[in-house]
Amino acid sequence: MKRRCVKGNLIKQVGVIGMGRMGAPMALNLLKAGFKVTVHNRTREKCRTAADAGAAVAASPADVAARTDAVLLMLADDAAVKQVVFGKGGLRANGKAGLLVIDSSTVQPGLSQKLAAAFAEKKIMFLDAPVTGSRPQAEDGKLFFLVGGSRAAYERAIPLFEAMGRKHLRLGTNGAGACAKLCNNLAGFVNLAGFCEAMAIGKRYGLAPQQLFEVIRNSGGRSGMADVKGPKILRRDWNADFVLSLASKDMRLGIALAEKVAQRAPLAKAARKIYDGAATNHGSDDVCALYRWYLRERNAE
């Protein structure tokens, strides 16, 4: 893959911290694009695939920062990000001036703003750049990066975004990307709950799920969530591209954001209860296992 040339400090060495369902394929796509990649994960075994493809493995976030020009974070939640940044051997204390840190985790906008301020004191650039898409899009290099931060940092990061994604958009200053991600997830997960509910109602009535899905995807009920998750439901494929427990977490973050900006969110609050309930039994399954929860509520699966 030919890299786009962008004015500014050229990034040659990239660190990726977080080798889960998303971080691992993102690291592989950076390697394919010609970057030198160093990876780190709390569970070292998860670094094996990237290491086999040519990535170096670092012992700590500090070690990653010492070896690289830019560091990408793809972590589970606010607490994990805080640990990597502010914990012992963290990026904030050990990162060098001129380092670029990109957080692609799904976190609260307030945390992104706090990170930006803390890094600025060390002359470290910071972007919040969460993504839309799940494991298949990460593997195919078709993620959509939602970016908050300075234009200079954004332009410097463009070659990385283009190595891992199909699209990138700067939405404003730090926190804007994190906010957009939570808003998108609220809309998507409320939509998915409605789709699973409708499919369950149709099944209980006696409609063939395949035929009902044909109706929905060719009518007003069609959505991106229905298009992607409908075929998985029909195959009874609960293998996780995006785990249900994380969807439950993201719903809580989105509602907290709504409360912070004094916006009512009755649909999100109702959907959150559904996701929390489903995550109790299906938390490690794909988010489309919400459909299983609807059916099992009446032992009708």
The pairing of beta strand 36-40 with beta strand 13-17: parallel
Q: Is 181 a catalytic residue?
A: yes
Backbone angles phi, psi at 263, to 5 degrees: -115, 125
The set of residues, in sequence order, having a beta carbon less than 8 Å from that of 31 and lying 6+ positions away, is 37, 50, 53, 54, 55
Among residues 181, 203, 249, 273, which one is catalytic?
A: 181
Q: Where are the beta strands (DSSP E) in 152-259?
A: 165-172
Give exposure, 127-164, as e/b (b: 16+ Cβ within 10 Å). bbbbbbbbbebbbebbbbbbbbbbeebbebbbbbbbbb
Q: Cα-flanking dihedrals φ and ψ of residue 119, to 5°?
A: -70, -35
Q: Which residues are designated catalytic? A: 181
